[in-house]
Amino acid sequence: MRWRRGLAVACVVGLAGCASDGGSSTPPPEPSAEPPSAAAGPTAQPDRGGGGGAPTGPDPVREEPERSATPGRLQQLVDEMALDELAHRVQVVSVAGTRPRRVTSAEGSANLADFGARTPAAVMRTFRPGGVIYFDHNVGSVRQVRRLSAGLHQAAQPTGAPTLLGVDQEGGSVSRLPGPAATGQPAARDLGGDPRFGRSSARRVGRAMAAMGLDVDFAPVADVDTVGGAGVIGERSFGTTSGVVAPMVRAQVCGYHRGGVGVSLKHWPGHGSTSVDSHDSLPTLTLPTRTWRREHLPSFVAGISGGADMVMTGHLAYPALDPSGDPASLSRTLTHDWLRQRLGFDGVVVTDALDMAAIAGRGTPGEIAVLALRAGADLLLMSPSPQGATAGIRAAVADGRLSRERLESSVLRVLRLADATAARGPAGC
């Protein structure tokens, strides 16, 4: 099952050229530095996904699930979730271990510290995250990853709610998975700006990922590398102009979908014009909005109109659009007003990793989690303290900074995405 609403919205409001793969995307009208009003952009479309977490009290009675549920069933699950479960279901976490039910002493200790459970399968049953992201410490062989994924999905089944399993698999230097399809995936720059090559490469990798039980790839990179060797994106970008990058992004979205996995564009609003690495400190974009519109916006428009499932917000400040200087990951102007209202994106908004130095000084893990959710994020990627994030969300609901309804809308959006990956058929792109 694939969604095409993003394309329809972009066509209606004139934000994208609705070109076929390899075609160009026409950027939106010249932006203003003022936050857009609801009337300035399209009304947000119906939710496409959702998420969830672990309850503090007794579990509600739930039927034994299948991985693919009906929309009404997903809403019922969300309605029944305790507050802590909602807070867990808006988090994507990293677990320690390569096997679902057996861990080393060090792996078990790490999981206990983060989640109060020893094994990855126990984390799924008790903490109940919205997603799990794999890193090198989770990955050995194709067979091992397949077994880990199967074990995690199986452990999540009694909760009644599907969980996303994802990975950063861009190609080139950012390759996490084993097997020839993944290890042989070219870096974005090495695809030579050829949309057919980009689409076929993504399809091949998507099939390999789906065969290993993975649901989403945190790719493709939609950043346009406009500073060359002075930048931090480098070969991770498809090229140095929007005319090259936009059709490549759209082609890769299609390819991954044809392969059977969802995707996330990154790093909104564009990491290609800065030499500062957000792993180390907060980059501030200084380019004029006219330049940003021409060089950096079209690739995100192309990916969204092509049906991207998620958009990752970067730890990037852009005072020309949000004078507060807040990074996009914590900025309501850049996340809600621009992504949701101006661009009409109705998929899942996921933050970049919350353990990065760029936002470390913004507060405790709980405070940062609340800021990201208030900005409009649906998924919080890798909080340095998942339980601290949960406590912060719980406190924010208690004092009115967040509502339960706000959490439920994100959880439902993530659940719908996870459910769609379980029932995904051939993409029609």
Q: Say if residue 31's pLDDT is above 70.
A: no
Q: How confident is the model at residue 9 (pLDDT cuts 50, 70, 90)?
A: very low
- Does the domain at residues 5-13+43-56+69-422 carry the CATH identifier 3.20.20.300? yes
Q: Kindly name the residue from 47, 114, 352, 378 that is annotated as catalytic.
A: 352
Coil vs helix vs strand at 138: helix
Half-sphere exposure in the Cβ direction for 178 (13 Å, CA): 13
Write out pLDDT tens, residues 411-429. 999 999 999 886 665 566 7
Distances (CA, A) of 415 to 80, 82, 400: 14, 16, 25
Per-residue model confidence (pLDDT) at position 231: 85
* 46 pLDDT more than 60: no
Name the helix (H) or strand (E) containing 265.
strand 262-268
Q: Mean pLDDT throughout 344-371? A: 96
Is 280 marked active-site?
no
- Kindly write down the DSSP assignment for every residue of 360-429, as one continuous string: GGG--HHHHHHHHHHHT-SBEE--S-HHHHHHHHHHHHHHTSS-HHHHHHHHHHHHHHHHHHHT------
32-46, 104-118, 291-305: range with lowest mean pLDDT: 32-46
Is the pLDDT score of 296 beyond 50? yes
Is 153 among the catalytic positions?
A: no
Element housing 349 (H / E): strand 348-351
Tens of pLDDT, residues 117-165: 999 999 999 999 999 999 999 999 999 999 999 999 999 999 889 999 9
Mean pLDDT estimate for the chain? 86
pTM value is 0.84
Question: What are the pLDDT digits (tens) for 363-411?
Answer: 999 999 999 999 999 999 999 999 999 999 999 999 999 999 999 999 9
Above 90 in pLDDT, residue 71? no
Separation CA 356–CA 226 (nearest Å): 23
Select from 235, 222, 227 the least CA-distant residue to 275. Answer: 227
Structure token digits, residue 44 = 């947000």
Domain ranges of the chain: 5-13+43-56+69-422
